[in-house]
Every structure is written in C-alpha cells, then in structure tokens.
Structure 1
Amino acid sequence: MRSDDILTQIDQALDDWTVSDDAMRSRPAVDVPAERGPETSVQIMDEAGEWQEIPGIGSVEIQMDEPPIPDDFAEKWARLSKRIARAEAERARHVRAVLEAFREAVKPVAEEAGRTLAELAARTARAAEHARADDYALAPPRPARLAIPYGPARRRH
C-alpha cells in the first residue's frame, strides 16, 4: 500500500464507527435497493359496484382528445384581458387616492410629534447637564488615599 492510500483510509475512518472485534476496519456490505418508481395499482368497478384490482399492470397511459376551441375564444379572451386591465388601473387609482388622503390626515399629527420629540430631546440634554453639575457639587471625587482597596489587606514590610 502506498502512503496516500493509508492516509485516505485514515481520513475516511474519522467518522466511521463500524469496527470489528479486533479493531480492524469493517465495512459491512450494504444492500442498495434498486431505483423503483411508485407502486402502480389499477382498479376498476365491476357490475356489482365493487372495486377489483387488476394485477400485473406496470404503467398506465391515458389518451384523450383535446376539446375543440371555439372560434370566438380569441375575441372573448381579448375582451376579458381589457376588462382586467381596466379594473387594475381603477384599483391603482383608488389605492393612490386612499394613500394621499391618509398622508394628508397624518401629516399634522406627525409634524406635532416631531416638534414634541425635539423639545423632549432638548429638555433631556439640559437635565443631563444639570445632573452632571449637581453630581460634581455634591460628591467630588475622593482622593486615592481614601479609596477602599479591593481584596485582602496588604502586608506592610
């Protein structure tokens, strides 16, 4: 065996958990089922109204003549297509009208909400400035010599 073959076997064995008693590679034969199509079953109704299966049928082919297309079908289809196009255009006009009315109705409320949010942001910024000023006035930072150390006490030498 070449070293490449051995390395290939090792690579293939990483996820292979089927081994024999002496820990040698064991690849049991796997029965691969033949490709089969769906089971075909044909049943017909007999004179008594009961269904009877016909054995030995491998496939079924149904032949059917296409119904004739009326001569005026193309004309009727064209008229239907035009009516559908007109209905879609009318629907689009209605949707645009509804959206425009909605926009006009909501515009003053949205503008007022924008002004209110801007005022709230300004007040919040002013309150934050006051809070920072009050924090420094009430509690100045402690000098390092007064800070509480973390952990166990240090030994003095």
Structure 2
Amino acid sequence: MIEEGDWETIPDAEGLARKAASAALAVTYEAAGDFEATVMLTDDTHIRELNRDWRAKDKPTNVLSFPAPEMPGATGPRHLGDIALAYETLVRESEEESKELAHHFVHLIVHGVLHLLGYDHEVEAEAEIMEALEVKALATLGIADPYRDMAA
C-alpha cells in the first residue's frame, strides 16, 4: 500500500517487497507454510507519528514492524503483521551509506519481516543472529552484506 512518498523511484517496489519477504522467510524456521504481511510505503511525517504513538519515540525511522498475534484455528495464510517504511529516511540512508536505493529497500523489508517473526537486535547476541539472517537472505537476492563496511 503506497500512502505517501515518491515510491515510483523504486521500480516494481511491490515485486521487490515480495522477493525480500520470501527471502527472509526462506532463511528462518518459518519457511514452511503460507504467510502474508501488509507493507505500507509512507513518508517521514506519518512514520514519525507511528513511532511516537507506538514506541514513544518522536522522530522518523526507516522501518517499523507490528507483529500480529497468531490466531489458533485460523484458515488460510498466516498474517504475520504490518511493516511501514519511510521514503525520505530510506533515501537519506541509502545516500549516506552509498547503497543502491532498491537494495536498501529490500534490506529494510527483510529486516521488517524478521521482526514480524520475532527476531530483534536490542541485545548484541540477538543482533548478531538477526544480522546474519539478513545477510543470508540478501545474498540469495544478489545483494551484498549491508553491514560489511559498518564495522568500526
């Protein structure tokens, strides 16, 4: 769902999001089964509101994930939850980090899906697991390790 932002600068954003989500699922134990998630492409203004209202952080961010509870007895694909991405932050980060815009978009979708599956990066050990899964998923799509140049 495109709400706000200049998202047409990413050709076939929907197709890329599907490939990214599939790659994230394929590198986790969740690979079996049918899944769905909602992806909202928006702008910094709206994501700032979401971040403020849901995380008490009054600033824009690149991606937010809202995991959905598993519904026992539900039929059809399991709804994992919702992901929101902010266009201006995505563009700014890709420029600052010299990353291809579409590659950074795919990375954030992978990151968001992993959050929907319960992965996190608040603790160093968890961050290492999550980052390794991201790198593995991105590699299946021909995208280089986004963390390789960030080691200091």
Larger Rg: 1
Q: Which has the higher contact order (CA 8 A, sep 6+)?
A: 2
> TM-score, normalised to structure 1's length?
0.14
> TM-score, normalised to structure 2's length?
0.15
